[in-house]
Amino acid sequence: MSAEVATSSMIESKDDLIHALSNGSKPKDKWRIGTEHEKFVFCKKERSPTPYEGKSGIQAILNTVQEKTNWTPLMDKGNIIGLKDPKMGASISLEPGGQLELSGAPLETIHETCSETGNHLKLLRSITDEMGLEFLGLGVAPTWGLDEMPMMPKSRYGIMKPYMEKVGTLGTSMMFRSCTVQVNLDFASETDMVQKLRTSVALQPITTAIFANSPFIDGKPSGYLSYRSHIWQNTDNDRTGMLPFAFEDGMGFERYVDYALDVPMYFIIRKGEYINCAGESFRAFLDGKLPQAPGELPTKADWEDHLSTIFPEVRLKSFLEMRGADSGPWEGICAMPALWVGVLYDQTSLDAAWDLVKDWTAEQRDQLRVDVAKTAFQAEIGGRKVGDIARDMLEISRAGLASRARKNWEDFDESVFLHPVERALRTEKTPAENMLDAYHGMWGGDIERIFTERLF
């Protein structure tokens, strides 16, 4: 029996899977904020993606961070692929094309989140400046083709890549050429989870519009303001999308488990080795009938791994993940979680947000997701423009943050982090549209300017 199986409790029935989700419920005073952000690392001189190997490679960055922080290295077949903070729970991980991700610690306020992000970026810059490397804050790599992207030595990616190529047209672009900002938020109960899940799924395209920051692909305008969102719409329909069942009667932890059981698997891990189970059924695994592990029942770790390979616009684990925003500048990394905390962590604000979206149909929600990728604030749903809905969402969030009254040493509450959202709505221009204006204007069509103008 492998170490993973030996140390992770066995799953014997669907009830165990349900419990793994419901166990995340916690009282409001225990709710936390976990912010994740990804960024492209590139060679300043060549303006090319950074390889894993070499004295100025991703491996060297991780090794140096480990030396400076004493975080625990995460290994895959002898290769360092991430770091874990043993005290606070934050981690640094690698996306397939070398995108570096900070998965932040569960923190109490956005003030702490922004400080965490700033300290992380300063640490990286203290290392990478000498290496001649820079960080790009965009939702999609603007010039690099898929054949130019390195592949990080994580075993799971060797399984995911060929499967992605079978089930969607842009899955490999998702893996290698996209970056996002996410926030992980808590719930108090099944009822609270359902209201938050429904509200946040419906509003996810609104945040896609607000933070749209990926207008280029292959060195030219793509025709989209969030090409990252377009990529996700063409990745794998079995594991992405707007969760229409979440709005049906009877929604709860069990219904999400039923959905997750029907999402095809990617892998299991045994004796430190990734076993390819791409396309197999977790239901069969639950019955001891997984062909790659006949007679074996899954463990809690297997279930957690499986949940991590499901990619809807909002993902349920023992918390809720908001997944709709492009990566962007430092201020955006703080603004995105602030917006969602204001909406979801105050009951009056949550009720007001649900009132905004409760009459939208599944068809309208799906179409909105498609439309905002192209036109952002100009898209419409229910006879209203997204820009107007976003203004309502902003005011709801501002009220929720004021109600939380989590202030910093200067006596500012968390609404101070909403300034980038306020600016975008005041000018009626997304970050993507500002970039396109520069590209067609002061940049003179020179896409290379992006490598100096859009750095962290």
Model-wide pTM > 0.85:
yes
> Is the pLDDT assigned to residue 1 strictly greater than 60?
no
SS3 241: strand
Residue showing tokens 């606070």 = 88
- Interval 362-386 mean pLDDT: 98
The pLDDT value given to residue 199: 99
> Is the pLDDT assigned to residue 3 strictly greater than 80?
no
Identify whether the C-beta of residue 13 lies closer than 8 Å to the C-beta of residue 285.
no
SS3 29: helix
Q: What is the pLDDT of residues 149-188, one digit of tens each?
A: 999 999 999 999 999 999 999 999 999 999 999 999 999 9
Identify whether the C-beta of residue 63 lies closer than 8 Å to the C-beta of residue 81.
no
H helices of 316-415, in order, are 330-344, 347-357, 362-375, 386-404
Residue 212 corresponds to which tokens in the numbers above?
């749209």
Q: What is the pLDDT of residues 219-232, one digit of tens each?
A: 999 999 999 999 99
Of 397, 385, 396, 395, the closest CA to residue 336 belongs to 397
The pLDDT value given to residue 6: 43
Residue by residue, what is the 3-state secondary structure of 140-184? ECCCCCHHHCCCCCCHHHHHHHHHHHHHCCCHHHHHHHECEEEEE
Share of the chain above pLDDT 90, in %: 97
CA 240/CA 167 separation, integer angstroms: 12
What is the average pLDDT value for the chain, to the nearest integer? 96
Query: In angstroms, what is the C-alpha Rg of the chain?
Result: 21
Q: Which sign does the torsion angle of CA 303, 309, 310, 313 carry?
A: positive
Domains of the chain: 31-263+310-453 (3.30.590.20)
The pLDDT value given to residue 7: 60
Q: How confident is the model at residue 456 (pLDDT cuts 50, 70, 90)?
A: confident
Identify whether the C-beta of residue 342 lies closer than 8 Å to the C-beta of residue 399.
yes
Q: What is the pLDDT of residues 242-293, one digit of tens each?
A: 999 999 999 999 999 999 999 999 999 999 999 999 999 999 999 999 999 9
The pLDDT value given to residue 2: 35
CA 272/CA 74 separation, integer angstroms: 12
- Interval 311-339 mean pLDDT: 97
Identify whether the C-beta of residue 374 lies closer than 8 Å to the C-beta of residue 223.
yes
CA 357/CA 381 separation, integer angstroms: 10
Give the DSSP letter of residue 455.
B
219-to-143, 145, 222, 439, 443 alpha-carbon distances in Å: 4, 9, 9, 11, 13
CB atoms within 10 A of CB 99: 28
CA 43/CA 252 separation, integer angstroms: 47
Q: What is the pLDDT of residues 397-431, one digit of tens each?
A: 999 999 999 999 999 999 999 999 999 999 999 99
SS3 4: helix
- Interval 85-101 mean pLDDT: 97
Q: How many helices (H) and strands (E) does the chain have?
A: 18, 18
Residue 176 corresponds to which tokens in the numbers above?
């290698």
Residue 23 corresponds to which tokens in the numbers above?
């166990």
Provide the b/e sequence for 171-200 (b: ≥16 CB within 10 Å): bbbbbbbbbbbbbbbbbeebebbbbbbbbb
Burial of 167 (0-12, 13-18, 19+ CB in 10 A): middle
CA 81/CA 93 separation, integer angstroms: 6
Q: How confident is the model at residue 333 (pLDDT cuts 50, 70, 90)?
A: very high
> Is the pLDDT assigned to residue 114 strictly greater than 70?
yes
Estimate to the nearest angstrom the gap between the alpha carbon of 231 and the chain centroid.
Answer: 14
CA 80/CA 381 separation, integer angstroms: 46
